[in-house]
């Protein structure tokens, strides 16, 4: 009987079985940002510990950074204090920091892959739930809390309970105007926001294999929104080609060994799984959320479900969600007026996302009442987009072109909704208050759909704007 990737990676990184029965797992790459790390460094300081493998931890700043100015000190004194803390901590503990003056700065889950730090077969940890992003390379990537950040700094290890593996096979191909974001939102709607608790999700099948690495990252990124702490895709030639030539890629003389080992970590054809699910990818359509968790979504042309028609356990939360959002049961989302359009985040802030959005924005204008932001996922993404002239496309269309950071995905920086604003957002969470105001409302969708909504001033089907407005499929 063969093994799946999770079993192989787990085995290769197991230090020992702890007296509690948990596994002590070695972590190959640790990524750090300014929000969940200061208390961990302070714990080390208090206990007189040092960082055991300082060369295996990389830090950047993303959550709190303003995207309209990089001037220090920040206007927000609390943000400035956090920035000063990570600078001091990294200096004191000998950790590489890609700070605001570094052209490698950006969202931690964009930076790791684009620098070649993220590689197949690794264990990766970061104090952020979207660490699952790195699973796109066939790594086992875990979002952790601050106590565990402390553990990884001090020991390069985590104490973990075993995970089960669910293989999700997506057959078919995505139609025009449909993207990886639509695929993962569909998966979450079908399997539920807690369907993945206790599982790692292995995404497989024809549709997944045809995706680029950036699209695969979008899929794995939102695993946690389906309850799965870990999501991964088996490494293949697409992954290898992405890594080749990046700053932290293996040197030429080690490349063949690396490539062989990476591919050997992929799930065996006869591997077993704790659960298997099949989804027909060819019926995936552009998706928009209508509620307050990412599972509450519909294909853009369909009506919001009536809570009475849902399974009883989903009815109550659907009712609460509709009340908060101000939607009626059975209402259509198309035509919903938006106030803000946000393109960015670790889910959809990469170059291909900006290209898809720019393709919609090109030659059009945002609606006069819409505030539209494009926030590149990293400075490298920004530079690549600017080299292609995407910044000009967006600016000419009325979008603001900002500096790299998490921005309005969680609104810890000055980019926030106000009052009851409705935001068409390419981010990952539509929780109450998520975008910076307790009554602000979020509609999750693909970057192309956000650009289309920004232009129309309301939710539209992006397929009506591409291909000369002809509906395909």
Partner 1 sequence: MSGETTRKPGPEDLRRARVEGRGIALRGDDIDTDRIIPARFLRCVTFEGLGEHVFEDDRKSFPGGLHPFDRPELQRAEILVVSRNFGCGSSREHAPQSLWRWGIRALVGVSFAEIFFGNCAALGVPCVTLAEEEVARLQDAVEKDPALRVIVDVEHRSVMYGERSAPAGLPDGVRQAFLTGTWDSAALLMDRPEEIDAVAARLPYVSLWTSGAAPADEGE
Residues 358-377 touching partner 1, rule: CB under 8 A, are none
45 binds partner 1 per the rule CB under 8 A: no
Q: Which is nearer to partner 1, 21 or 468 (CB)?
A: 21
344 binds partner 1 (CB under 8 A): no
Contacts of 140 (CB under 8 A, 6+ apart): 5, 6, 9, 10, 122, 123, 124, 200, 230, 232
CB of 379 to partner 1, least distance (A): 22
Q: Which is nearer to partner 1, 269 or 311 (CB)?
A: 311
Kindly tell me which of 133 and 352 has the beta carbon lying closer to partner 1.
133
Please, which residues bridge with residue 171 across strands? Answer: 280
How many other CB atoms are found less than 10 A from the CB of residue 35?
A: 18
SS3 label, residue 372: strand
Contact track, partner 1, 161-190, x by CB under 8 A: x-----------------------------
Site for partner 1 in 3-42 (CB under 8 A): 12-16, 18-22, 24, 26, 28-29, 35-36, 38-39, 42
Q: How far is CA 323 from the centre of its chain?
A: 28
CA-to-CA distance for 435 and 410, rounded, in angstroms?
5
Please report how close the Cβ of residue 346 comes to partner 1 at its closest, in angstroms.
12
Q: Which of 303, 333, 307 is nearest to 422 (CA)?
A: 333
The distance of closest approach from Cβ of residue 392 to partner 1 in the complex, given in angstroms and rounded to an integer, is 32
**For 130, how many CA atoms within 13 A lie in the half-sphere containing its CB?**
23
Strand-pair category, 199-204 with 230-232: parallel
Q: Find the part of the chain contacting partner 1 (CB under 8 A) among 194-202, 385-393, 446-454, 460-468.
A: 194-202
Is 348 near partner 1 (CB under 8 A)? no
Dist. CA 186–CA 294, nearest whole Å: 10
Residue 453: φ, ψ to 5°: -65, -35
How far apart are the C-alpha atoms of 195 and 188, rounded to whole Å? 8
Interaction of residue 213 with partner 1, rule CB under 8 A: no
Helices (H), 24-161: 38-47, 77-93, 108-114, 146-155
Letters for 123-162 (x = contact with partner 1 by CB under 8 A, - = none) are ----xxx-x-----------xxxxxx-xx--xxxxxx-x-
Q: Which of 5, 32, 61, 79 binds partner 1 (CB under 8 A)?
A: 79
Site residues (CB under 8 A) for partner 1, limited to 383-422? 410-412
Please identify, among the stretches 255-263, 345-353, 373-381, 447-455, the one whose residues bind partner 1 according to the rule CB under 8 A: 255-263
Torsion-angle region of 302 (φ positive above 0: left; ψ -120 to 50: alpha; else: beta): beta
For the CB of residue 410, give the shortest distance to partner 1 in the complex, in Å: 5
Which of positions 423-452 make contact with partner 1 (CB under 8 A)?
429, 431-434, 436, 438-439
As measured in angstroms, the least distance from the Cβ of 323 to partner 1 is: 9
Q: Could you count the other beta carbons within 10 Å of the beta carbon of residue 285?
A: 19
Residues 280-309, mask of contacts with partner 1 (x by CB under 8 A):
------------xx----------------
By the 10 Å C-beta count (0-12 exposed, 13-18 middle, 19+ buried), 399 is classed as buried
Choosing from 5, 31, 61, 82, the residue that interacts with partner 1 (CB under 8 A) is: 82
């Amino acid at each position: 009987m063969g093994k799946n990737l999770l079993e192989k990676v787990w085995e290769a990184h197991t230090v020992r079985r702890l007296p509690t029965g948990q596994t002590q797992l070695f972590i190959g790459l640790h990524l750090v940002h300014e929000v969940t790390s200061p208390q961990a460094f302070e714990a080390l300081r208090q206990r007189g510990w040092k960082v055991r493998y300082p060369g295996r931890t990389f830090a950047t700043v993303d959550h709190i950074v303003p995207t309209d100015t990089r001037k220090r000190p920040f206007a927000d004194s609390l943000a400035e204090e956090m920035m000063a803390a990570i600078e001091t901590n990294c200096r004191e503990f000998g950790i590489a920091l890609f700070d605001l003056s570094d052209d490698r700065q950006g969202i931690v889950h964009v930076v790791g892959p684009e620098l070649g730090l993220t590689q197949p077969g690794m264990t990766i940890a970061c104090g952020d739930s979207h660490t699952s992003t790195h699973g796109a390379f066939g790594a086992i990537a875990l979002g952790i809390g601050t106590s565990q950040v402390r553990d990884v700094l001090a020991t390069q290890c985590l104490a973990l309970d075993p995970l089960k593996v669910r293989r999700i096979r997506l057959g078919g191909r995505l139609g025009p105007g449909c993207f990886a974001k639509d695929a993962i939102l569909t998966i979450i709607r079908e399997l539920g926001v807690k369907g993945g608790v206790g599982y790692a999700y292995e995404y497989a099948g024809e549709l997944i294999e045809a995706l680029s690495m950036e699209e695969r990252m979008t899929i794995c990124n939102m695993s946690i929104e389906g309850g799965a702490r870990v999501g991964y895709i088996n490494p293949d030639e697409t992954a290898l080609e992405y890594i080749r030539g990046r700053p932290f890629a293996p040197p030429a003389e080690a490349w063949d060994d690396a490539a062989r080992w990476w591919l050997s970590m992929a799930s065996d054809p006869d591997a077993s799984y704790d659960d298997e699910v099949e989804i027909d990818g060819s019926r995936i359509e552009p998706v928009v959320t209508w509620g307050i968790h990412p599972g509450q979504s519909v294909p853009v042309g369909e009506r919001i479900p009536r809570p009475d028609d849902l399974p009883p356990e989903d009815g109550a939360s659907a009712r609460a969600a509709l009340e908060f959002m101000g939607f009626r049961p059975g209402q259509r989302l198309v035509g919903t007026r938006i106030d803000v359009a946000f393109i960015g985040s670790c889910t959809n802030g990469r170059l291909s996302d900006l290209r898809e959005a720019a393709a919609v924005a090109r030659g059009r204008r945002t609606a006069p009442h819409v505030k539209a932001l494009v926030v590149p996922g990293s400075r490298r993404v920004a530079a690549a987009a600017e080299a292609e002239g995407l910044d000009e496309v967006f600016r000419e269309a009325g979008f603001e072109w900002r500096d790299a950071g998490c921005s309005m995905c969680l609104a810890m920086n000055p980019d926030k909704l106000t009052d009851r604003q409705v935001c068409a957002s390419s981010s990952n969470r539509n929780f109450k208050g998520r975008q910076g105001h307790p009554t602000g409302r979020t509609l999750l969708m693909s970057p192309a759909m956000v650009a289309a909504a920004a232009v129309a001033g309301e939710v539209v089907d992006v397929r009506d704007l591409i291909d000369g407005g002809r509906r395909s499929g």
